[in-house]
């Protein structure tokens, strides 16, 4: 079970963490409302203890923000505050809080709340397991037992039975091409060709030639005829990846092909009839691209017969270990390799910006480099869970004056945040700065002050 503790006071977070710590629980922390919202959306905790009085974005702001966002699965939220007013309690409950407790709270009470939630989570997990016993985790080349993936598999099955075009949306690394191949393999065009082209990987000057073909001498360097992917995919399926990056002139020509079913190679007036089912994919927000006039709305409507969305890996934790074991099995030889308990915890704690592709590369590399047949957190490049020494590190500040203790805590916290961001971004300072929400120059200055270097 995941528990998120939200409080701007480090001592308050430490005390509650110590009270709720258990081998079967992952304790997350947030020092402000903004971080809390990020943690809720990325880590999907089961239980949240939310401090009400925080600077800038307070607890009530968090509740209202979650209430207005139907895409976020709202966890059980317990508001914790020194304000025992009835009106405030009613307002919090109205905004989605499950319960309301006042400071100083009874440790036994918050433990009982956590135990109750743990029992509910375990029961839900058991029900889900029973419900999915008859639902195979494997769907062609895809794996997933989570409810969102099972729903996606059913949608792919239904979409494959039609002749409608399909748009697949999802972050990079989620497996959009695998979905496209399943759509083709399960359709009545499976005997025909499946042709995939990444429009973002082609030079802008060559996109039209790649899509529609050209005749010899049509332009400088055209030393022979080229068929083009539309004609290559005739009677089959054409997968256009990253359509959001397609140049505007090509969008216009693509629209004509979709409307008339003909292609005209560059350098000739000859038009060729084609019978192609279009499956397209993008990680970009096409609605925003249309608003910004970067993508044609009429083309979008032509492509969007059916729209499928692949959830990011961070939103389907049930599948992380399933996928990791699959990748591990395919990466190892005769010798069996296993993952340490700390590695499993680190995998579940990671937010997976690179999604399934990141997990696959991480496990493959770890299987090749680990020693003793056991993959440790260092082998996958993720920080291990905190040791007992780390858990008690807070104690050394308690004998210091308040201002000095606060100063040292802030410095330690900043160092940990910076080191973790750099680790997650493979030492890329610009990317780490974006993750931390600060300017690159500010991050470089802090790194210099703290003596942090990238390898």
Greater pLDDT, 249 or 281:
281
3-state secondary structure 20-36: HCCCCCEEEEECCHHHH
Give me the pLDDT at residue 127, please: 65
Q: What is the pLDDT of residues 196-238, one digit of tens each?
A: 998 878 877 788 888 888 888 878 777 888 888 999 999 999 9
Is pLDDT at 448 greater than 90 in this prediction?
Answer: no
Give me the pLDDT at residue 203, please: 76
CA distances from 96 to 118, 225, 336, 364, 379 (A): 20, 64, 48, 42, 41
Is pLDDT at 317 greater than 90 in this prediction?
Answer: no
pTM summary value: 0.59
Percent above pLDDT 90 for the chain? 26
Give me the pLDDT at residue 387, please: 46
Q: Are strands 26-30 and 2-6 parallel, antiparallel or unpaired?
A: parallel
Nearest to 393 by CA among 404, 382, 408: 408
Give me the pLDDT at residue 391, please: 47
- Give mean pLDDT, residues 12-28: 86
Give me the pLDDT at residue 276, please: 93
Give me the pLDDT at residue 282, please: 93
Give me the pLDDT at residue 395, please: 61
Greater pLDDT, 455 or 32:
32
Give me the pLDDT at residue 388, please: 42
Q: What is the pLDDT of residues 97-124, one digit of tens each?
A: 888 888 888 888 889 999 888 888 777 7
Q: For the chain, give the mean pLDDT.
A: 85
Give me the pLDDT at residue 385, please: 47
Percent above pLDDT 70 for the chain? 91
Q: What is the pLDDT of residues 273-310, one digit of tens each?
A: 999 999 999 998 888 889 989 999 999 999 989 999 99
The structural domains of the chain, ordered by start, are 2-129 (3.40.50.2300), 138-311 (3.40.50.300), 315-450 (1.10.8.60)
Is pLDDT at 333 greater than 80 in this prediction?
Answer: no
- Give mean pLDDT, residues 178-195: 95
Q: What is the pLDDT of residues 339-365, one digit of tens each?
A: 988 888 888 888 888 999 999 999 999
Give me the pLDDT at residue 38, please: 86
Helix ranges (H only) for 7-162 are 10-20, 33-43, 59-67, 86-94, 107-131, 147-160
């Amino acid at each position: 079970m995941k528990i998120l503790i939200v409080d701007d006071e480090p001592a308050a977070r430490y005390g509650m963490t110590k009270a709720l710590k258990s081998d079967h629980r992952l304790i997350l922390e947030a020092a402000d409302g903004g971080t809390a919202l990020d943690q809720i959306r990325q880590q999907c905790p089961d239980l949240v203890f939310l401090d009400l009085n925080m600077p800038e974005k307070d607890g009530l702001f968090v509740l209202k923000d979650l209430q207005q966002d139907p895409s976020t699965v709202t966890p059980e939220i317990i508001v914790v505050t020194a304000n025992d007013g009835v009106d405030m309690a009613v307002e919090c409950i109205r905004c989605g809080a499950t319960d309301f407790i006042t400071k100083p709270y009874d440790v036994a009470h918050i433990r009982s709340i956590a135990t109750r939630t743990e029992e509910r989570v375990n029961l839900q997990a058991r029900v889900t397991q029973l419900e999915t016993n008859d639902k195979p985790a494997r769907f062609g080349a895809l794996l997933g037992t989570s409810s969102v993936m099972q729903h996606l598999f059913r949608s792919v099955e239904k979409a494959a039975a039609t002749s409608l075009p399909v748009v697949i949306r999802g972050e990079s690394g989620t497996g959009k091409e695998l979905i496209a191949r399943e759509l083709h393999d399960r359709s009545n065009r499976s005997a025909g060709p499946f042709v995939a082209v990444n429009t973002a990987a082609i030079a802008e000057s060559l996109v039209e030639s790649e899509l529609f073909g050209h005749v010899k001498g049509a332009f400088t360097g055209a030393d022979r005829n080229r068929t083009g992917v539309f004609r290559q995919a005739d009677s089959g399926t054409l997968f256009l990846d990253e359509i959001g990056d397609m140049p505007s002139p090509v969008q216009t020509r693509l629209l004509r092909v979709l409307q008339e079913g003909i292609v005209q190679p560059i350098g000739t007036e000859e038009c060729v009839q084609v019978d192609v089912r279009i499956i397209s994919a993008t990680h970009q927000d096409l609605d925003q691209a249309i608003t910004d006039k970067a993508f044609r709305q009429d083309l979008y409507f032509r492509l969007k017969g059916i729209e499928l969305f692949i959830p990011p890996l961070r939103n389907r934790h049930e599948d992380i270990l399933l996928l990791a074991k699959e990748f591990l099995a395919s990466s190892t030889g005769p010798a069996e390799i296993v993952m340490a308990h700390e590695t499993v915890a680190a995998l579940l704690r990671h937010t997976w910006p690179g999604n399934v592709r990141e997990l696959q590369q991480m496990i493959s590399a770890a299987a090749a480099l680990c020693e003793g047949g056991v993959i440790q957190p260092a082998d996958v490049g993720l920080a291990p869970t905190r040791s007992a020494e780390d858990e008690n590190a807070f104690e050394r500040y308690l004998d210091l004056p308040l201002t000095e203790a606060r100063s040292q805590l802030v410095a330690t916290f900043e160092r940990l945040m910076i080191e973790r961001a750099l680790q997650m971004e493979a030492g890329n300072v610009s990317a780490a700065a974006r993750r931390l929400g600060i300017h690159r120059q500010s991050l470089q200055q802090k790194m210099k002050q703290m003596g942090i270097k990238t390898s």
